[in-house]
């Protein structure tokens, strides 16, 4: 019971972080991976934080409406497809292979999270685009597909990765990129979670309290957006991310037994 309560509050914090900045999966996934296998940990973490995305989209719906619908659909289709492909790759990949990639993925997600403020300054300095130009549409679709496959396969850090991709594609300032990120990430993770449910990868014992916590966290994050010092939250994610990456590097490459987690 104590463990379930811990995961409930962890999901509240992670849901709030996702709503404010992104990167909440770097909290929930490592905690779950301590008690259940990595594939189940990723699937259950994604389920727990899924409802935070609709809350964030609703809160920023006016900014999202400023983006041309054509551009949104061009990015939304590969996002859904990539989320499906990534989720299928995850459930079809044996846990030893997945474990091998865990530290690298966590490290990459954390580094992207650290670099996000510089990316944000770059976005604010650029002119705001009114949408995707015809020449960039094929590149935009391929980049979004690649990011979505990552997001379907491994959700931690996907928000930061999507923000970086949308910024490079010239989708405008952070006030427009973040709402679009929430929409695309919510859709691709929703498709991935559906696959995990069908494949039986969800640990419902931990998943149900985390869903409730994620819903509360998403609501709280939307309510206090702009009022809380997100530097504290960002610092926690960075410290946890690098610490967990170091732990998994030792576990996978330094320990005699490479299996992470376990019932």
pLDDT above 50 for 66: yes
Q: What is the pLDDT of residues 95-142, one digit of tens each?
A: 555 667 767 877 876 787 677 666 556 544 444 455 788 888 999 999
- Judge whether 124 lies within some domain: yes
Q: How much is the pLDDT for 102?
A: 66
- Asked whether residue 102 is domain-assigned, the answer is yes
259 part of a folded domain: no
202 within domain boundaries: yes
In a domain, 22, yes or no: yes
Stronger pLDDT, 141 or 21, i.e. the higher one: 141
Average pLDDT, the chain: 79
Confidence of residue 29 (pLDDT cuts 50, 70, 90): confident
pTM of the model: 0.75
In a domain, 94, yes or no: yes
Domain count, the chain: 1
Residues 122, 167 contacting (CB under 8 angstroms): yes
Reported as a single tens digit per residue, the pLDDT across 199-217 is 888 999 999 999 999 988 8
- The answer, yes or no, to whether residue 145 has pLDDT greater than 60, is yes
Percent of all residues in the chain with a pLDDT value above 70, rounded to a whole number: 76
Q: Which pLDDT does position 18 carry in this prediction?
A: 78
Name the more confident of 35 and 160: 35
Residue 73 counted as domain residue? yes
pLDDT in tens, 154-201: 776 677 778 778 877 878 766 778 789 889 999 999 999 999 899 888
Domain-embedded: residue 183:
yes
Instruction: Domain of residue 64: give its range.
Output: 2-254
Percent pLDDT > 90 in the chain is 26
User: What is the predicted pLDDT for the residue at 94?
Assistant: 57
Please report the pLDDT score of residue 225 as a whole number.
58
* Residue-level pLDDT at 79: 97
């Amino acid at each position: 019971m104590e463990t379930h309560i811990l995961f409930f509050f962890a999901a509240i914090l992670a849901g709030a972080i996702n709503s404010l900045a992104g990167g909440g999966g770097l909290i929930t996934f490592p905690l779950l991976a301590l008690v259940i296998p990595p594939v189940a940990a990723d699937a259950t973490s994604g389920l727990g934080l899924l409802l935070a995305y609709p809350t964030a989209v609703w809160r920023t719906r006016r900014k999202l409406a400023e983006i041309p619908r054509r551009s949104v659909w061009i990015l939304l289709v590969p996002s859904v497809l990539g989320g499906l492909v990534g989720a299928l790759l995850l459930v079809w990949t044996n846990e030893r292979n997945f474990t091998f990639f865990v530290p690298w993925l966590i490290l990459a997600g954390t580094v992207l999270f650290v670099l996000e403020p510089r990316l944000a300054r770059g976005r604010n300095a650029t002119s705001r685009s009114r949408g995707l130009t015809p020449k960039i549409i094929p590149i935009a679709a391929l980049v979004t597909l690649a990011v979505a496959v990552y997001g379907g396969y491994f959700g931690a850090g996907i928000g930061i990765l999507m923000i970086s991709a949308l910024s490079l594609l010239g989708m405008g300032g952070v006030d427009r990129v973040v709402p679009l990120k929430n929409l695309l990430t919510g859709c691709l993770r929703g498709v991935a979670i559906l696959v995990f449910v069908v494949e039986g990868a969800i640990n419902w014992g931990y998943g149900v309290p985390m869903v409730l916590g994620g819903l509360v966290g998403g609501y709280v994050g939307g309510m206090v957006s702009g009022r809380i010092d997100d530097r504290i939250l960002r610092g926690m994610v960075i410290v946890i991310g690098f610490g967990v990456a170091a732990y998994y590097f030792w576990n996978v490459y330094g320990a005699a037994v490479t299996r992470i987690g376990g019932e």
